[in-house]
Amino acid sequence: MMTWFNAEWPWYVAGPLIGLFVPALLLVGNKTFGISGNLRHLCSAILPSRLEFFRYDWKSTGLWNLVFLAGVLVGGFLASHSGSPHAINISPATVTTLRQIGIHDFSGVVPRELFTWNALLTLRGFVSIVVGGFLVGFGAAYAAGCTSGHAISGLANFELPSLIAVFGFFAGGLAATYLILPFVTGHL
Amino acid sequence: MTDASVPDFDGCGSSGADQRIRPAFLLVYLLLGVAFGVVLTRSEVLSWFRIQEMFHFQSFRMYGIIGSAIATAAASIALIKASGLNSADGKPIVIPRRPLGSGIQYAVGGTIFGMGWALTGACPGPLFALIGNGVSVMTVAVLSALAGTWAYGWLRPRLPH
């Protein structure tokens, strides 16, 4: 019975399941699916400041979403502790491409060359974790949305701002993939 | 998006209804979040490897996932609108729309976000799901993302939107 859960989910199962969170949140409480608003709520809650961007009632606006986010963390824990761990089955072409930039450990969900506490002290690890994280937070706040808020909720609602944002997501992603990552791994 | 004093719509997560939520509903949001964390993990979209595979155009998988997620969400929204359903709290369902403005914030902010997405190999949901998966160093990425969000709030009056 657990075989379907352990198997690699095909895209046509994974995608619709993700899409269903949009109507689920609308039906439960008229909420728009989007994760990155939580970064703003957390700033508002943890770092009291005079900045207007963070001066609002985060409890009434965002408590539901912070609770949802806490669930995401728990869900990640439960899913990784149930079922058998296995390497991510990426295409052979990607394995070849990544070997060329010095990635050789394909056993985990993320490469150990970049995402460990030791790697944090290397240029490539620092750029991947610290610089990357900063850009995620800055960019999502500036664009007023992330992958969930723009690419899924916004595009599904046919919003032009979201289409512009998603073009930006890919432009930036390609730039980082083809220029920044090879540069910081010393393989540009 | 020039009036920072209006916490109406932060663009990613909140909606028009600004009311305290009953505890029973919070439990539902918690369970939905758990389900989302499970889906992010088992579908592997939280994997840096999958994101690299996507940006190198070496597999249809991520495009299929994102495309079918949008299609499912769009069809669901159309159904909800056509049926005139209310949400469980008894209010008509409304989906706030972002103002377009000059579009600069979406183009520039989106590009900056995309760079971070490729570097961390994760967007905000997966960042948290990865911590749950035991990739504890992602807590640093989350703290850095909070710093980035704070930096935006600080620079906001000086940035073009």
Same domain, B103 and B158: yes
Give the gap in angstroms from C-alpha B39 to the nearest C-alpha of chain A.
7
Assess whether B103 and B88 both reside in one domain.
no
Q: Residues B103, B92: one domain?
A: no
Q: What is the ipTM of this complex?
A: 0.95
CB-nearest to B113 from A79, A143, A158 is A143
What is the pLDDT at residue B80? Answer: 94
Contact, A183 vs B122, CB < 8 A? no
Of B36, B114, B127, the CB nearest to A171: B114
**CA–CA separation, B116 and A160 (whole Å):** 22
Residues B138 and B157 in one domain: yes
- Transcribe B67-125 into DSSP letters: HHHHHHHHHHHHHHHHHTPBPTTSPBP-------TTSHHHHHHHHHHHHHHHHHT--HH
| Residues B107 and B149 grouped into a single domain | yes
Instruction: Say yes or no: B105 and B154 in one domain.
Output: yes
pLDDT digits (tens, 9 = 90+) for A137-174: 999 999 999 999 999 999 999 999 999 999 999 999 99
Asked if B146 and A42 count as a contact pair (C-beta separation under 8 A), the reply is yes
Tell me which residues of chain A, numbers 121 to 140, contact chain B at a CB-CB cutoff of 8 Å.
127-140
Is residue B142 assigned to a domain?
yes
What's the longest Cα–Cα distance across chain A?
54
In 3D space, the residue among B49, B98, B146 whose CA is nearest the CA of residue A110 turns out to be B49
Kindly list the residues from chain A whose CB atom is less than 8 angstroms away from the CB atom of residue B103. Answer: 160-161, 164
Q: Using DSSP, state whether B60 is helix, strand or coil.
A: coil
Partners of residue A51 in chain B, C-beta under 8 Å: 150, 153-154, 156
Q: Does residue B64 share a domain with residue B14? A: no
Three-point CA angle A167, A88, A95, nearest 5°: 75
Contact call for B105 and A174, based on CB within 8 A: no
Residue B115, in any domain of the structure? yes
pLDDT in tens, chain A (188 residues): 566 667 789 999 999 999 999 999 999 999 999 999 999 999 999 987 889 999 999 999 999 999 999 999 999 999 999 877 678 999 999 999 999 999 999 999 999 999 999 999 999 999 999 999 999 999 999 999 999 999 999 999 999 999 999 999 999 999 999 999 999 998 87
**Whether residue B161 is found in the same domain as residue B103:** yes
Q: Quote the Cα angle for A160-B14-B155, to 5°.
A: 75
How far is residue B157 from each of residues A89, A131, A146, B108, measured CA to CA in Å? 45, 23, 21, 15
For residue B2, the model assigns a pLDDT of 37
Contacts of B140 by beta carbon, 8 Å cutoff, 6+ apart: A120, A129, A130, A133
In this prediction, residue A48 carries a pLDDT of: 75
Q: Give me the number of domains chain B comprises.
A: 3
Rounded to the nearest angstrom, the minimum Cα separation between B82 and chain A is: 13
Comparing CA positions, the residue from A155, A53, A70 lying closest to residue B10 is: A53
Establish if B123 belongs to a structural domain. Answer: yes
Q: Judge whether B48 lies within some domain.
A: no
Are B18 and A164 a contacting pair at CB < 8 A?
Answer: no
Name the band, by pLDDT with cuts 50, 70 and 90, for residue B23: confident
Residue from B105, B119, B139, B152 to probe the interface with A (highest A Cβ count within 10 Å): B119
Please state the rounded mean pLDDT for residues B79-106: 91
Q: Does A157 contact B74 at a Cβ distance shorter than 8 Å? A: yes
pLDDT level of residue B22 (50, 70, 90 thresholds): confident
Residue of A nearest to B78 (CA): A157
Mean per-residue pLDDT for B131-139? Answer: 97
Do B86 and B126 fall within a single domain?
no
Which residue in A31, A142, A181 is closest to B159 by CB distance? A142
Same domain, B67 and B115: no
Residue A2 is predicted with a pLDDT of 60
Structural domain of residue B86, as residue ranges?
A: 58-97
For B96, which residue in chain A has the nearest alpha carbon? A32
- Tell the burial category of A11 from Cβ atoms under 10 Å away from its Cβ (0-12, 13-18, 19+): buried
pTM of the predicted model as reported, rounded to 2 decimal places: 0.92
In this prediction, residue B19 has a pLDDT band, given cuts at 50, 70 and 90, of low
Spatial CA neighbour of B34 closest among A80, A118, A114, A188: A80
Task: Quickly tell me which residue has 């992010």 as its tokens.
Answer: B40
Those residues with Cβ within 8 angstroms of residue A77's Cβ, 6 or more apart along the chain or in another chain: B37, B132, B133, B134
Q: ∠ CA(B54), CA(B60), CA(B63), 5° rounding?
A: 65
Assess if residue B51 is contained within a domain. Answer: no
